[in-house]
Chains A and B, each alone.
Chain A
């Protein structure tokens, strides 16, 4: 009896390792940065040479935790060992997107020297407000018994929505140097969010009941499409500013901000690693 249980547990371990290996290979390929650049070039229809240099150098130097295979492995580990983890993470993205839309709207209010950039930042802010509701809807579609009746609508109604705000600029304009800094950081943040969509997609879709799969898939595809658009417009603006003389500054900023963002990601991941990692993921806390 004991042997049977041990054999069974061993078989499960082998299957589990195989499952996670295949998952990581699909969602986090070794050439992730190259694929990302290909996607950005495809979207912008531009070779983006300056942006490519800045991003490639920074990612090579920082090796951010969210591009490591172990990060994807940890997400799989949590989703398959912690009851309700995948649903909670999906829902938590709603308020996070809403807060992001607030920050973007405030930035738009201060951008008064570059109408084209401002218009794209405003669209980005609107997208994030919409995304905050989409994540609630995604939670409802994929995990229908996770939220009590009416809770999703209540939460969606309580989150700030900038789409109804009057379009009024603030008296204090944002200097161009600060706008560059904001967009560098946004670009990095969107790259991580896009990666998260790749981590989420098969797991959320896998958990969803049959009737919820089409909606889940549609929402996830819509979200990742928007993330690509956000990476693309910020990349193209950086490229234009680089050709106008800001190339060295953008390259240095990208390196500095990616370094800080990586530290922040490690901090944000630390709680989950300590709570759910079972001591198996200490390397995720190394910078």
Chain B
């Protein structure tokens, strides 16, 4: 097997026990998830709107110093802390 396709799926008994110790069946509140998703995605749903937003954002792209501030402003519209990363 190529190393590029290698993922580790194995768990030790104690790791399995640790996972088993937590109640994982917590049905998602889809209404809340969708509300959050809609608010986050509002700028991207319509390709036309997305493009306008992206172009405005991208116009500041050239200079790294300008990029950082504009990226943060643009990104603030859709990053859900704790979700986009972990």
Shortest A177–chain B CB gap in Å is: 7
Chain B stretch 34-72: residues in CB contact (< 8 A) with chain A: 34, 37, 40-41, 44-45, 47, 50-51, 54-55, 58, 61-62, 64, 67-68, 71
Query: Closest residue of chain B to A71, judged by CB?
Result: B86
Q: Does more than half of chain A's interface fall in helix, strand or loop, or is it mixed?
A: helix
- Complex CA gap A202/B14 in Å reads 13
Given pairs A19-B15, A74-B86, 14 additional interface contacts (CB within 8 A): A15-B14, A15-B18, A82-B22, A86-B24, A89-B86, A106-B51, A155-B30, A155-B33, A178-B61, A203-B19, A228-B4, A267-B81, A269-B85, A275-B82
Distance to closest chain A CB from B17 (angstroms): 7
Q: With a CB–CB cut-off of 8 A, which chain B residues contact A176?
A: none
A202 contacts B84, C-beta separation under 8 Å:
no
Q: Which of A21-29, A46-54, A121-129 contacts B (4 or more CB under 8 A)?
A: A21-29
Count residues on chain A whose CB falls below 8 Å from chain B CBs. 81
Chain A residues within CB distance 8 Å of chain B: 15-16, 18-19, 22-23, 26-27, 35, 38-39, 42-43, 66, 71, 74-75, 78-84, 86-89, 91-92, 95-96, 98-99, 102-103, 106, 143, 145-148, 151, 154-155, 158, 160, 165, 170, 172, 177-178, 181, 192, 196-198, 201-203, 205-207, 217, 220-221, 224-225, 228, 253, 256, 260, 264-265, 267-272, 275
Contact A260 B71 (CB under 8 A): yes
Given contacts A160-B45, A206-B16, contact A91 B82 (CB under 8 A): no
Interface residues on B, range: 35 or more
Q: Which of A84, A95, A178, A205 contacts B24 (CB 8 A)?
A: A84
Q: If the complex has contacts A96-B84, A165-B47, are A35 and B8 also in contact, measured as CB distance less than 8 A?
A: no
Q: Given A91-B33, A160-B44, A198–B5 Cβ distance below 8 Å?
A: no
Q: A91-B33, A145-B27, A264-B75 are in contact. Are A272 and B41 (CB under 8 A)?
A: no
